[in-house]
Amino acid sequence: MVAAIRAAPSAATRAVSLLRTVQYAHPPNCPCHSNPGHHHHARPQVDRYAQHTGRRGFASPVDLSQQKEYAFEMAASSIRFGPGVTQEVGMDFKNMGAKRVCVVTDSTVRHLTATKQVEEALSREGIEFTIFDKVRVEPKDSSIKEAIDFAKPYNPDAFLAVGGGSVIDTAKLMNLYTEYPEADFLDFVNAPLGNGRPIDKKLKPLVAIPTTAGTGSETTGTAIFDLVAKKAKTGIAHRNLKPTLGIIDPLNTKTMPSAVKASSGLDVLCHSLESWTAIPYNQRVPRPTNPILRPAYQGANPISDIFSLSALRSTVKYLPRAVKDPEDFEAQSEMLLAATLAGVGFGNAGVHLCHGMSYPISGQNPGYKHAGYEVAHSIIPHGVSVAVSAPAVFRFTGPSNPERHLAAAEAFGVDISNVKCEDAGAVLADAIAAFLTDLGDQPKGLKDLGFTSEHIDALVEGTIPQARVLMLAPGLQTELEKEREQLRALFEDSMAY
């Protein structure tokens, strides 16, 4: 049987080869790139190991702000997955010696089984707790300050978040600011809106129990909110903000309405697509002068890639099933796991244009109310605001790395064997558009949300401050006027797909 070995590579091997060609050690080898050093990204590609010469950088007076990054760091919360695991959380707090837990949730999740399970689990172990259930969905700085004001006098020795991304993000910031009681709120907020101060203390234990399959916040060091005075969505991002443990219990997402399943699943889709296509970590500038300054959103790297591509494939396979059949528990479970995997992926690589553009889209909503959301006010759910620009975004980013875009298109089931490299972005864009259409109940562009060309200036200006994610967008110019022009074109192209 030895004769069979090392025969022509079969399907999986060829797939692995494809994955390898899009990694860092080699320049792109798309057939259309006869020059292997050719790269569409604005910043020139350098050899991964040419960085050696920079290793004396820390001791010698080299200007690191001009040097490219040479390392990446992967950090993730511990993850426990299983149907029913919510019940273990009381033992977890007991095991870590916590005696006084601040439970964080919102007024809806407060009454769901997940919260009841949590209360029972804590009570069973005799752990004192209080519940803060005033988290605002899509938090503002004011709602977060209210939450912090609740936590400070209670002085908990651990936090437990039960809910979606808004809840988990709010709990992270309650934990942060009770540990830094004297800090100004803007101190830790991402630059340029805030001061971007790194978190140099170890925070209290935070356990996160997601009740939606989308945010991935249970594994990341990121918290997002509206900074009202600046009219911008921004956040705080640092590895030390990440939960100690994410308890991923698929029984907790059974109650998600179908529309919420769809929009949160689209967030997963974009997390995986954006982190997979973000600029490589070793193209990022500057090289940090201290490892604590290395951003979590550091660009694509060999470990985030594994998570992002795996999450993308799961989402393509399971999201339509999860949305269409409320009884399909397998699909729901796989989507919850995919959300977490995507969280590890983008949590260590970052997102870029879909997310950067989504904040003004949802913030400047002309009055759209998404079907299936039973709220009194107009709403563009986060996942919808992210996905609506995806066809335009990946058509734009395609030339930066055609192989990665083709690999993503292939994950959607596209036969890429005869696709030309220069069509990679367009093919992926079409695949995404078809996926969104098949999913149903999705706006077919910004027009369907009520935006017209008159809104574009404001949308562009609302995107510009998202420097933290825009810096990871391949092909985006750094010169402000050129960036503005590119963003304008992207919003125009997002009007209809």
Report the distance separating Cα 77 and Cα 247, nearest Å: 10
CB closer to a second copy, 15 vs 375: 15
| 213, 268 Cβ separation under 8 angstroms | yes
Report the distance separating Cα 326 and Cα 321, nearest Å: 8
The encoded tokens of residue 394 equal 């990946």
Handedness of CA 184, 187, 190, 192 (dihedral sign): positive
CB closer to a second copy, 42 vs 79: 79
By the rule CB under 8 A, 78 interacts with a second copy = yes
By the rule CB under 8 A, 79 interacts with a second copy = yes
Report the distance separating Cα 28 and Cα 41, nearest Å: 12
User: Least separation, in Å, of the C-beta of 17 and a second copy?
Assistant: 9
Judged by CB under 8 A, the stretch of 119-127, 139-147, 354-362, 443-451 that binds a second copy is 119-127
By the rule CB under 8 A, 229 interacts with a second copy = no
By the rule CB under 8 A, 20 interacts with a second copy = yes
- The answer for residues whose C-beta is within 8 angstroms of residue 1's C-beta and 6 or more apart is none
By the rule CB under 8 A, 330 interacts with a second copy = yes
User: Least separation, in Å, of the C-beta of 373 and a second copy?
Assistant: 29
Strand-pair category, 245-248 with 78-81 = parallel
Report the distance separating Cα 378 and Cα 367, nearest Å: 5
From the list 40, 43, 231, 313, which residue makes contact with a second copy (rule: CB under 8 A)? 313
Burial class (CB in 10 A: 0-12, 13-18, 19+), 327: exposed
User: Least separation, in Å, of the C-beta of 141 and a second copy?
Assistant: 27
Q: Which residue has the tokens 């969280």?
A: 343
CB closer to a second copy, 192 vs 413: 413
| 405, 274 Cβ separation under 8 angstroms | no
From the list 173, 411, 421, 471, which residue makes contact with a second copy (rule: CB under 8 A)? 411
By the rule CB under 8 A, 19 interacts with a second copy = yes
Report the distance separating Cα 469 and Cα 349, nearest Å: 10
| 339, 215 Cβ separation under 8 angstroms | yes
User: Least separation, in Å, of the C-beta of 81 and a second copy?
Assistant: 6
The encoded tokens of residue 409 equal 């298109």
CB closer to a second copy, 274 vs 410: 410
- Alpha helices (H) along 188-250: none
From the list 1, 61, 153, 454, which residue makes contact with a second copy (rule: CB under 8 A)? 1
User: Least separation, in Å, of the C-beta of 102 and a second copy?
Assistant: 20
CB closer to a second copy, 139 vs 445: 445
Burial class (CB in 10 A: 0-12, 13-18, 19+), 88: middle
CB closer to a second copy, 113 vs 142: 113
Integer-rounded Cα Rg, in Å, for the chain is: 22
| 343, 314 Cβ separation under 8 angstroms | no
CB closer to a second copy, 17 vs 478: 17
Handedness of CA 128, 137, 212, 267 (dihedral sign): negative
From the list 170, 222, 333, 494, which residue makes contact with a second copy (rule: CB under 8 A)? 333
Window 184-203: residues binding a second copy (CB under 8 A):
200, 202
CB closer to a second copy, 5 vs 376: 5
From the list 29, 195, 290, 478, which residue makes contact with a second copy (rule: CB under 8 A)? 290
Window 359-388: residues binding a second copy (CB under 8 A):
none
Peptide bond into 286 cis (omega under 30): yes
By the rule CB under 8 A, 255 interacts with a second copy = no
User: Least separation, in Å, of the C-beta of 419 and a second copy?
Assistant: 7
Window 424-463: residues binding a second copy (CB under 8 A):
426-427, 430-431, 433-434
Q: Which residue has the tokens 């916590």?
A: 98
From the list 29, 38, 58, 152, which residue makes contact with a second copy (rule: CB under 8 A)? 58
By the rule CB under 8 A, 329 interacts with a second copy = yes
Window 30-49: residues binding a second copy (CB under 8 A):
48-49
> Of 347, 348, 271, which Cα lies nearest the Cα of 302?
348
By the rule CB under 8 A, 169 interacts with a second copy = no
CB closer to a second copy, 63 vs 415: 415
From the list 81, 150, 154, 373, which residue makes contact with a second copy (rule: CB under 8 A)? 81
Q: Determine the residue type at 334.
A: E
By the rule CB under 8 A, 341 interacts with a second copy = yes
Number of residues that bind a second copy (CB under 8 A): 89
From the list 104, 151, 323, 416, which residue makes contact with a second copy (rule: CB under 8 A)? 416
Kindly report the backbone phi and psi dihedral angles of residue 396, in degrees, each rounded to the nearest multiple of 5, phi listed first. -70, -45
Burial class (CB in 10 A: 0-12, 13-18, 19+), 168: buried
